[in-house]
Amino acid sequence: MKYYDRKINYYETDQMGIVHHSNYARFFEEARISYMDQMGYPYERLEAEGIISPVLEISCKFLHSVRFGDTVRIEVTTTAVSKVKCSFAYKVTDLATGELKARGESEHGFITRDGKPIILPKEKPEFYQLLLNEFEMSDAGIK
């Protein structure tokens, strides 16, 4: 598990002063990019090597409102790794109070720039091994 801290901006809120639900996908992406940096394999490197990672599925369960000025901590965990895709879980908590605000998940594939799926252990073994290591450290077990 790794984490990413983020202060909420005014423009991310709706008329009620609550973070608009559409922003959570962005928050998860920011946290996932930070997670990859912390893993030692920045997303920029993956793209420079000709690989992109489209989102196949994303979900979020909203538990408590996040508001302008709040700072949240987004914990990221690798929850599944296969030869062609991986999944992540996200926990969004208020940094000041520790209150759990939201939970989410995302699943990602790996393709070349021209849309051809790749087999991670064959074509990106270092990256695949890092994902496996993170997965094993999460106690999720191998899927």
Kindly report, residue by residue over 90-136, the tens digit of the pLDDT. 999 999 999 999 999 999 999 999 999 999 999 999 999 999 999 99
Q: Report the CATH superfamily, name and number, of domain 2-137.
A: Hotdog Thioesterase (3.10.129.10)
Kindly report, residue by residue over 2-46, the tens digit of the pLDDT. 899 999 999 999 999 999 999 999 999 999 999 999 999 999 999
Distance separating alpha carbons of residues 89 and 103, to the nearest angstrom:
7
Distance separating alpha carbons of residues 63 and 102, to the nearest angstrom:
5
Q: Among residues 122, 20, 114, 27, which one has the least CA distance to residue 76? A: 27
pLDDT reported for residue 142: 36
| pLDDT(143) > 70 | no
User: How much is the pTM?
Assistant: 0.92
Residue 140 pLDDT class (50, 70, 90 cuts): low
Residue 139 pLDDT class (50, 70, 90 cuts): low
